[in-house]
Amino acid sequence: MGMNEFETLKTLLGRDRSIRRFRQQPVATATLLDLVELTRLCASGANRQPLVYALANEPHLLDAVFPALKWAGYYKDWDGPSESERPAAYIVQALDTDITKNPLCDDGIQLQAITLGAAALGLGGCIIKSFNAQTIREVFAMPDNIVPLYVLALGFPAETSLLVPQRDRADIFYYRDGEDRQCVPKRPLSDIIFSVNFEHGL
Ligand SMILES: Cc1cc2nc3c(=O)[nH]c(=O)nc-3n(C[C@H](O)[C@H](O)[C@H](O)COP(=O)(O)O)c2cc1C
């Protein structure tokens, strides 16, 4: 693992922004399976591996999932993607409560693996926690022990999103600039280092 791989990872993370508007270009089932395959490689609390996935990329499923989702709470005058900008696929992450009721942080680790993989493939996506669980359960005929945790919307991006420096602690609101690019404030490194061994400097 050399510097090149580190730089590649950092570039991918930098590109791994939440994307909420998509081109109307299909995402193949094989691609969705490749992305879920990445989650098998992840760390897992007690190695219980309690997370399972439902995939959607067919029109009737896409139409059924979309109304269950809530988009971009900070955009008060935008309700989500228009019909010509909707996601081309969904990956629903669910917990099998027969295995455990507490996924610890397996959910986040696996979502990150999927979104990084998606970024590497030129796809964009948005992790969605705000969704109607009942609708999702019905669409995918989930039995009682399968509890949906997150919906990941996916597709080829039809918008640009970039990182901007956070101006102050209260500056957490993403916004669209004059060129309709989404800007996402992130805290500087100096702000998130709580304590450091100054012997070696920063
Ligand atoms: C745990 C979690 C839940 C999220 N839920 C939603 C959601 O329900 N709807 C949405 O539009 N975006 C959702 N997002 C996306 C965040 O708004 C987004 O990550 C944040 O604004 C930072 O932008 P970035 O992903 O480009 O860094 C969620 C992200 C995370 C990590």
97-141 pLDDT, tens digit per residue, is 999 999 999 999 999 999 999 999 999 999 999 999 999 999 999
What's the CA-to-centroid distance between 127 and ligand 1, angstroms? Answer: 6
Report yes or no on 96 lying in a domain. Answer: yes
Nearest CA to ligand 1 atom 7: 128
- Do 168 and 154 fall within a single domain? no
Task: Report pLDDT for 39.
Answer: 99
CATH of the domain at 59: 3.40.109.10
Contact 51, 103 (CB under 8 A): yes
What is the band of 197 on the pLDDT scale with cuts at 50, 70, 90? confident
- Do 89 and 183 fall within a single domain? no
- Do 169 and 152 fall within a single domain? no
Which mutation among 79, 110, 128 tests ligand 1's pocket best, with the greatest number of atoms within 8 A of CB? 128
Does the CB atom of residue 156 touch ligand 1 within 6 A? no
- Do 32 and 95 fall within a single domain? yes
What is the band of 2 on the pLDDT scale with cuts at 50, 70, 90? low
Report yes or no on 7 lying in a domain. Answer: no
> Which range of residues forms the domain containing residue 165?
160-202
Q: What proportion of the chain, given as a percentage, has pLDDT over 70? A: 97
pLDDT value at 1 more than 60: no
Q: What is the pLDDT of residues 132-185, one digit of tens each?
A: 999 999 999 999 999 999 999 999 999 999 999 999 999 999 999 999 999 999
What's the CA-to-centroid distance between 74 and ligand 1, angstroms? Answer: 10
User: What sign does the CA torsion over 126, 129, 131, 133 have?
Assistant: positive
- Do 154 and 122 fall within a single domain? yes
Report yes or no on 50 lying in a domain. Answer: yes
Does the CB atom of residue 75 touch ligand 1 within 6 A? no
CATH of the domain at 171: 2.20.180.10
Does the CB atom of residue 127 touch ligand 1 within 6 A? yes
- Do 146 and 48 fall within a single domain? yes
Across 60-190, the runs of DSSP E, i.e. the strands, are 89-96, 124-128, 146-155, 161-165, 175-176, 182-186
Report yes or no on 6 lying in a domain. Answer: no
- The average pLDDT across 68-73 equals 97
Atom number, ligand 1, closest to the C-alpha of residue 80: 11
Does the CB atom of residue 92 touch ligand 1 within 6 A? no
- Do 121 and 188 fall within a single domain? no
* Amino acid making up residue 77: D
What is the band of 3 on the pLDDT scale with cuts at 50, 70, 90? confident
- Do 154 and 175 fall within a single domain? no
- Do 182 and 135 fall within a single domain? no
Report yes or no on 144 lying in a domain. Answer: yes
Count: domains in the chain: 2
Report yes or no on 2 lying in a domain. Answer: no
CA dist 69 and 54 (Å) reads: 16
- Do 144 and 116 fall within a single domain? yes
- The average pLDDT across 47-75 equals 98
N-term to C-term CA, the chain: 23
pLDDT value at 5 more than 60: yes
Task: Report pLDDT for 11.
Answer: 96
Residue 26: count of CB within 10 angstroms of its CB: 15
Task: Report pLDDT for 66.
Answer: 98
- Do 143 and 194 fall within a single domain? no
Task: Report pLDDT for 73.
Answer: 95
Report yes or no on 1 lying in a domain. Answer: no
Atom number, ligand 1, closest to the C-alpha of residue 72: 11
- Do 164 and 136 fall within a single domain? no
pLDDT value at 202 more than 90: no
Compute the mean pLDDT over every residue in the chain, rounded to the nearest whole number: 96
